[in-house]
Amino acid sequence: MEATRQFLSPTRQAEIRPFETAERPTVGFARDYVDGLTSGFHVHPRAQLLYAVSGVMRVQTRHANFVVPPTTALYLPAHEDHSVTMDGAVAMRELFIDDEAAKRLGADPKVIAVSSLLRELIVAICNEPVEWEKSGRAHHLSELAIDEISKASPLPLALRLPEDLRVRKVVQAILSDPGNQRGLEAWCDVANASSRTLARLFRNETGLTFRQWRQQARLAEALRALMTGATPTKAAAIAGYSSVPAFGAAFREVFGMTPAQAKAHRTED
């Protein structure tokens, strides 16, 4: 990946403002970004649906990390502090959703599966002007998109971040090197806690065991690797699998696509 660079400049903020203030239930914002760009933490006054027709976005809130491949989208409520980082080239297609429509979508961030219909609705809304005709085609697109989002089942792709500083030290180290083979007991010195305490803290703070949390982080890293050119064999090794078929089964269960399909998304328009 290229060196990280910030893209949420005052100029871009001014560019986005009409999309945040339009008197429409949804408006679409379409931009393509190069590898390595990051927004830094920021908020929007409207809810968002973050989707990429190609490429992978990593989104971090104050409480969780999310990996967003092209088969999924991330719903963020209004005023949710977050940062977006591009893993590889990303073709982002984003919906800004007003407060009334957002009431139907819930108060918490969530990753949802993007059906073929929802994908086409997002792309179509992004092709409409910001102030689209209220009695025209975009009105029906908007209503159907909100309905599809509201009915989509949340996917377990949020990697919760712990509040406890002892566990946070461990997860930050794992995120910086997901392939690290150290077991729970080997992290006790980093956390300054016993293995029993560390195991309990992982469950309480993240809702997952140490092994489950690490495996989810590894699969997210494997996804990033696939979509930036790695082979399935390399990605399997990153995720800690010696068997490519076993890796493929676990990968599909989490991301809803095979490793080969993930690589194909790298070049889709």
DSSP secondary structure string for all residues of 127-147? TS-TT--TTSHHHHHHHHHHH
For residues 77 and 215, the model is more confident at: 77
How do residues 165-207 score in pLDDT, each as one tens digit?
A: 999 999 999 988 887 888 999 999 999 999 999 999 999 999 9
Per-residue pLDDT at 131: 94
What average pLDDT does range 2-16 have in this prediction?
69
- How far is Cα 138 from Cα 26, in angstroms, rounded to an integer? 9
* In the chain, ranges of CATH 2.60.120.810 domains: 5-155
Per-residue pLDDT at 267: 46
pTM: 0.83
Per-residue pLDDT at 265: 66
For residues 221 and 28, the model is more confident at: 28
Radius of gyration of the chain (CA): 19
What is the share, in percent, of the chain residues with pLDDT greater than 70?
95
pLDDT band at 268 (very low <50, low <70, confident <90, very high): very low
Domain 162-265 architecture: Orthogonal Bundle (1.10)
Per-residue pLDDT at 79: 96
Q: Are the CB atoms for 198 and 187 separated by under 8 Å?
A: yes
Is the pLDDT confidence value at 5 over 70? no
For residues 10 and 211, the model is more confident at: 211
Q: Of the candidates 100, 106, 102, 138, which has an alpha carbon nearest to the alpha carbon of residue 122?
A: 138
- Alpha carbon 115 to its chain centroid, in Å, reads 16
Phi, psi dihedral angles at 265 (to 5 degrees): -65, -20
The whole-chain average pLDDT of the chain stands at: 89
Q: Are the CB atoms for 178 and 214 separated by under 8 Å?
A: yes
The count of residues in the chain is 269
Q: In CATH terms, is domain 5-155 a member of 2.60.120.810?
A: yes
- How far is Cα 246 from Cα 35, in angstroms, rounded to an integer? 29
What average pLDDT does range 101-113 have in this prediction?
93
What average pLDDT does range 24-37 have in this prediction?
93
Point out the least confidently predicted range of 48-52, 136-140, 171-175: 171-175
- How far is Cα 13 from Cα 34, in angstroms, rounded to an integer? 18
Per-residue pLDDT at 266: 58
How far does the chain reach from its first CA to its final CA, in angstroms? Answer: 20
